[in-house]
Structure 1
Amino acid sequence: MQADTLVEQEEKVDAEAPAAPVQQEVAPVPQEEPEVKPAKRTKSTAKKTRTVELTLTVTGTADGEWQADLVHGTKRVVQGLVISAAAVSRAAKELHDDIAGGIDEVIEAARTQHRTRMEELEAELAKVKAALAELSE
């Protein structure tokens, strides 16, 4: 019971004593201003990508003759290099289907033109052979 009486006495004391507001004065703490250092320029550690400018120009004629020119920056590396239509076709297929489609159309047009010319020449050759055969008789 003694514990009960102590708790009751503390409660009576707390109830009787008016709560006084607690005020504490806090002395302002002087803040140190951070030292401002001038920004240093450091070299970037990021890897710089070096670009290479190469310009490859492939030109073809209706006869199916193809040439290539290669320029590195402003320096001409190759000019007027003769290349085969088959090489152009293979290279175009390696690059992209859209490129290959456009080039194959040009190559097919040249084939058609050459076949037509070959048929004309074969017909002319047949006439010449016939004329030669008449002269030999």
Structure 2
Amino acid sequence: MTAAGALTEQDVAAVRKATAAGQPVTVWFTAAAVGVPAGRSAKVSAVGDPADGDFIQVRPAGSRDTMFCSPNELTRTRPPRGAAASAAAGRPEAKRATASASSASPAAARAVPSAPVAVPGPSPAATEAPPAPGPKPAARTGTARGRAARPAGMTVTLEVTVGGEWSVEVRSGTKRVVPAMPVQAADVAAAARSLPSAVAEAIEASLERARQQQRDRVERLRSELDAAQRVLEQLDV
């Protein structure tokens, strides 16, 4: 279900353009955001590929960590100040009003002259009043969100190209915590020595292929350099 005021495709395009130009972009979390309160502000750090699902990287206000969100979890419409406080303040008043209505029923019953048939049972209003308090579903919703916000498993992916260039990516559940970033082959080789032998052997085989490619390239460049040197010497005669 789309949250009210969630980012549209046009909003995402505008945020992407502003972020690429180095301009600060402020967004606010909608009720669909998991693990953060609705209405909290954040700064957009980067906008990735929509195919990733949660592709908008933001840094919540007051935090140094970043997280990835979907357009449905963010809005560019600033929520009115005090809206959340007003909603929270309204609930106790509703409870007090219900309690007053409940207490008024027995008082009204006492005001009526007692009769033998009317004394045994409370009035229908007094019987139905106790189930009235309504904020409990919201509390259950908050508890459900708390369970959903628990940290998911962490996945670290190490990739190497045909040319021997390594990169690493980190995901927490379906959220990409660290985008693919380059890693030095020497660091990969050092880390491989601490891993199980089967993993270390596979990494070492890939590193050896990369070394051989570089050796072949050096030989090829050396041959080209020798040929160029000979031509230069002939031209100097």
Global fold match (TM > 0.5): yes
Alignment of 1:6-17 (within 5 A): none
Which ranges of 4 or more aligned residues in structure 1 deviate by more than 4 Å? none
Cα separation, partners in 2 of 1:122 and 1:108, compared to 1, 3 Å: same
In the alignment, structure 2 segments of 5+ residues that lack a partner are 1-149
Equivalent residue pairs, number? 88
- Tell me which amino acid in the other structure corresponds to 1:87: D
Alignment of 1:45-84 (within 5 A): 52-84=152-184
Task: Give distance in 2, aligned partners of 1:95 and 1:51.
Answer: 25
Task: Give distance in 1, aligned partners of 2:226 and 2:169.
Answer: 41
1:100 aligns with 2:200: yes
Q: CA deviation at 1:95?
A: 2.1
CA contact (8 A) 2:155 2:171 kept: yes
Q: CA deviation at 1:99?
A: 0.6
Task: Give distance in 2, aligned partners of 1:124 and 1:63.
Answer: 21
Task: Give distance in 1, aligned partners of 2:198 and 2:186.
Answer: 17
Choose the corresponding residue for 2:210, options 110, 126, 130: 110
- The residue matched to 2:201 in structure 1 has which SS? helix
Percent identical: 38
Deviation string 1:34-70 (CA, Å, 9 cap, x unpaired) is: xxxxxxxxxxxxxxxx875111111102221001111
Q: Tell me the TM-score normalised to structure 2 length.
A: 0.35
- Tell me which amino acid in the other structure corresponds to 1:110: A
CA contact (8 A) 2:193 2:200 kept: yes
Q: Tell me the TM-score normalised to structure 1 length.
A: 0.59
CA contact (8 A) 2:156 2:168 kept: yes
- The residue matched to 2:193 in structure 1 has which SS? helix
Cα separation, partners in 2 of 1:78 and 1:51, compared to 1, 3 Å: closer
CA contact (8 A) 2:158 2:166 kept: yes
Q: CA deviation at 1:132?
A: 1.2
- The residue matched to 2:223 in structure 1 has which SS? helix
Deviation string 1:6-33 (CA, Å, 9 cap, x unpaired) is: xxxxxxxxxxxxxxxxxxxxxxxxxxxx
In the alignment, structure 1 segments of 5+ residues that lack a partner are 1-49
